[in-house]
Structure 1
Amino acid sequence: MAERTLRGARLGGQSFEDERGIEFAARQQVGYRCPQGHVFEITMSVEADVPAIWECPRCGAEGLSTDGIEKVVKAEKPARTHWDMLLERRSEKELEDILKERLELLRGGEIGPAHLHRATKKRKATA
């Protein structure tokens, strides 16, 4: 019988706790306006860092703060490429020497795809 008393009570979706005696955190209303002209407010904690931009709940565009909060522009570092990382380890002179060495090995048939060089090397050795 006890099982039937809770049926349809939206267990997990609704709290049966009373709000008496609970002190809520201090809150503030922050206003935003999107380019479409939609004005909306977001409730935030007083301690929160208020962002200058918030997504509009109606159209999804970026809404700017109506309180005059300026957007912080972060200095972006340029993307570090593979070439930049390679130059941190070796000089261009060293890289040129390595390239010459590898090209000689490739042309001599010591490295590279087996079907291109190694088969001809074996034929020369047997001939």
Structure 2
Amino acid sequence: MAERTLRGARLGGQSFEDERGIEFAARQQVGYRCKQDHEFEITMSVEAEVPAVWECPRCGAEALSVSGIKPEVKAEKPARTHWDMLLERRSEKELEEILKERLELLRGGEIGPAHLHRANRKKGKASA
């Protein structure tokens, strides 16, 4: 039974409804031009908000509206680095003190990689 329902009709091929009595939405043609001087038009509804930028169908670059609509410039925040985030928590003076303490512990063999401490012990035994 299911086989007979699609007989004689292509899927997605054509509609069996006529267009009488249908009122289409008002449309407008919006022109765009990319940096490579490709010009093209896009059909949009009159009610639609027209974007200032559209992708060029030929080269994929950004195309600007030829009607003079300017793209909105978004205020971009500068990227926060690790140093910026560290300075939010501590002052430079505090960081210098912490660095000095950690270097003393490292040089004294209390912290750090084990292979550095073994090398220091061998030097200490050899000189004794």
Same-fold status (TM-score > 0.5): yes
CA distance in 1, matches of 2:14, 2:93: 72
Question: Structure 1 residue 44 and structure 2 residue 44: aligned?
Answer: yes
Offset at 1:122?
9.7
Q: Deviations over 1:68-99 (max 9, x none)?
A: 11122222222211111100000001000100
Alpha carbons 1:33, 1:63 under 8 Å: kept: yes
5+ long unaligned stretches in structure 1: none
Cα RMSD (Å):
3.3
2:57 paired residue number: 57
Match of 2:102, SS?
helix
- Cα distance change on mapping 1:117 and 1:57 into 2, 3 Å: same
What is the deviation of 1:33? Answer: 1.8
Name the TM-score, length of structure 1 as normaliser: 0.72
Give the Cα–Cα distance (whole angstroms) in 2 for the partners of residues 3 and 40 of structure 1: 44
Q: Greater CA deviation, 46-55 or 1-10?
A: 1-10
Deviations 1:30-65 (A, max 9, x none): 111223333211233444432222111122232221
SS of aligned partner of 1:116: helix
Closer, same or farther: CA 99–19 of 1 in aligned 2, 3 Å: farther
Equivalent residue, structure 2, for 1:79: 79
Deviation at 1:24, TM superposition (A): 5.8
Identity %, equivalent residues: 79
For normalisation by structure 2, the TM-score amounts to 0.71
**Which runs of 5 or more residues in structure 2 are unaligned?**
none
Instruction: Give the match for residue 102 of structure 1.
Output: 102
